Structure 1
């Protein structure tokens, strides 16, 4: 009798079995994600480094070169695979779109959380959700039919270039930065506001000197996240930037980004050829920049957590 009672007491309950099963499934899912990420990194790195090890292209020439024509060799006998125009185009479009989107996003977030929370959420929240749900090809088509002709009529030229790409990316990253900024402002404790108002501060002084400063890490994370979104955008930018592998000389001159060159060229090359390996090297640069953006986001989040 004692042995039977002991067995019943030591027997796992149904809830404990379900908890163990849930932990096992979660661990397997985590391992699957980790293995997938590392497999992608290894695959892209192996393909991207083939340009330097198999085709013997100089890494310095690849990063600093200004000419992109893998089927042509220069005076040194090296193929012209200079990625500087695409890297510069990606950074310029990303930075400009973030600079334009940030004031609008922060202003909308302040309106939704501090000035008119009920009316702001009722009006702006559906708009933000609608902008998030629109496919990138629709943004690109609107930019092609509206932004490019408008740029052409105002500034001359073909209308394709950095300015058109910036306008399209500005609209695309605006809901992302806005929604994350709203979350950052709502995360500020309520007693911060009450303490500032109790000391005699006006609403705008409270917003500027207390709330925005407390929410700065979260808003910086939103901006960097929006930049990462803009840096990796392909289809919409490809439709309006001009896809010219040249260093941009002005905002209205045709240019290209890493993603635009990849999407236009990857289907027209043979696997294992120099042209294909050079495109994989561009993909490797894009992957490294994405990892850097994620690292910056984590560092900002860690500093924000330590400051609280």
Structure 2
């Protein structure tokens, strides 16, 4: 059984190694040919022109801004919802909200994009009197809704797992229930809450279909009320007909996206270690 468990655990490591090696082998040639500086910091993407340019800075900044905006909106809502479900809600109310959260997590990305395209995009166009409502703002709102189930579910599980003795000791010392929840339970569950944020970031930065439908898919420098293109949508929209250097450049974009996720996970691990030491 020990060997079986070890093999099952090794599968995940092997998959990560395989994906890492494949992306490096496929993505490095284009970066060498284009030039690292021109590729990462170039502000023009014209992959099909006679004189092609492969600058992905607009895609990088759009992904960063879009993910940050979704997390800024989604984390407070998801975190407070998790606290409510774990500590304050009655069983009947909690059951209804949990069911809704589970349904949110099961909705396909294309449905989010379809609803955003038919409801949110026209609303933004009318509200701000724009030629097109397919903007970075629409993508941020859609992504914020999409990350909520991950943040709520994982955070609630972490809060529920906090030993009751911690809260009872805090209440016995004269703290109110709200003080106990936010000064005792939340710090004790910080690792699980942080994991929920990482899942949310991964979901937001890796989403393609929904943001393609609501963001306009235009390689502009990011602006809240303009059409933009994310790293993921750049790959998804051109991979079907790409060839040669263009195809290699798309693999390089996937490599950059993969490195982003790795850096986010590493930064979170460092912050959690510092928090435990302090």
TM range (shorter): over 0.9
Deviation for aligned residue 1:301: 5.4
Q: Does 1:213 align with 2:211?
A: no
Cα shift at 1:104: 1.1
Q: Map 1:151-166 to 2 at 5 A.
A: 151-157=124-130, 158-166=132-140
Q: Which runs of no fewer than 5 residues in structure 1 stay unpaired?
A: 1-21
Structure 1 residue 149, shift from structure 2 partner: 0.7
CA contact (8 A) 2:134 2:215 kept: yes
Q: Return the alpha-carbon distance in structure 2 between the equivalents of residues 293 and 247 of structure 1.
A: 23
Give the aligned partner of residue 10 of structure 1. none
Aligned to 2:64: 91
Q: Which residue of 2 aligns with 1:259?
A: 232
Q: Residues 31 and 212 from structure 1, CA distance in 2 versus in 1: closer, same or farther, beyond 3 angstroms?
A: closer
Q: Distance in 1 between matches of 2:137 and 2:50?
A: 32
* Displacement of 1:73: 7.0
After TM superposition, the structure 1 = structure 2 runs for residues 286-297 of structure 1, keeping only pairs within 5 Å, are 286-297=257-268
Q: Distance in 2 between matches of 1:124 and 1:71?
A: 48
Of 113, 117, 123, 1:150 maps to: 123
Helix, strand or coil at the partner of 2:225? coil
Q: TM-score scaled to structure 2, two decimals?
A: 0.92
Range with greater deviation from structure 2 (193-202 or 208-217):
208-217
The residue number in structure 1 matching 2:15 is 36
Measured in 2, the distance between the counterparts of 1:36 and 1:102 equals: 29
The two structures, once aligned, show a CA RMSD in angstroms of: 2.0
| Counterpart residue number, 1:19 | none
> CA, structure 1 residues 213+26, in 2 after alignment: closer, same or farther (shift >3 Å)?
closer
Which residues in structure 2 correspond to 1:46-61 (within 5 Å)? 46-53=25-32, 56-61=33-38
Give the 3 Å change call, closer, same or farther, for CA 182–307 of structure 1 in structure 2.
farther
Please name the residue that 1:8 is paired with. none
In the alignment, structure 1 residue 225 sits paired with structure 2 residue 204? no
User: Which of 39, 43, 46 is the aligned partner of 1:69?
Assistant: 46
Deviation for aligned residue 1:253: 0.5
Q: Is residue 175 from structure 1 mapped to residue 182 from structure 2 by the alignment?
A: no
More moved, 96-105 vs 293-302: 293-302
Q: Give the CA deviation at 1:71.
A: 3.6
State the SS of the aligned residue for 2:236: helix
Q: Residues 257-292 of structure 1, C-alpha deviation per residue, up to 9 Å, x if partnerless?
A: 00011100001112xx11111111101101111222
Cα 1:30–1:180 shift into 2, 3 Å: closer
1:6-59 deviation digits (Å, cap 9, x = unpaired): xxxxxxxxxxxxxxxx33433444444433322221111111111133xx2110
SS in 2 for 1:267: coil
User: Aligned residue for 1:280?
Assistant: 251
Q: Report the secondary structure of 1:245's partner residue.
A: coil
2:2 to 14, 20, 23: 23
Provide the C-alpha distance between the structure 2 equivalents of 1:211 and 1:26, rounded to a whole number of angstroms: 33
Do the aligned partners of 1:109 and 1:181 also contact (CA within 8 Å) in 2? yes
Q: What is aligned with 1:141? A: 114
Q: Conserved in 2, the CA contact under 8 Å of 1:220 and 1:300? A: no
Query: For this pair of structures, how many residues does the alignment match?
Result: 277
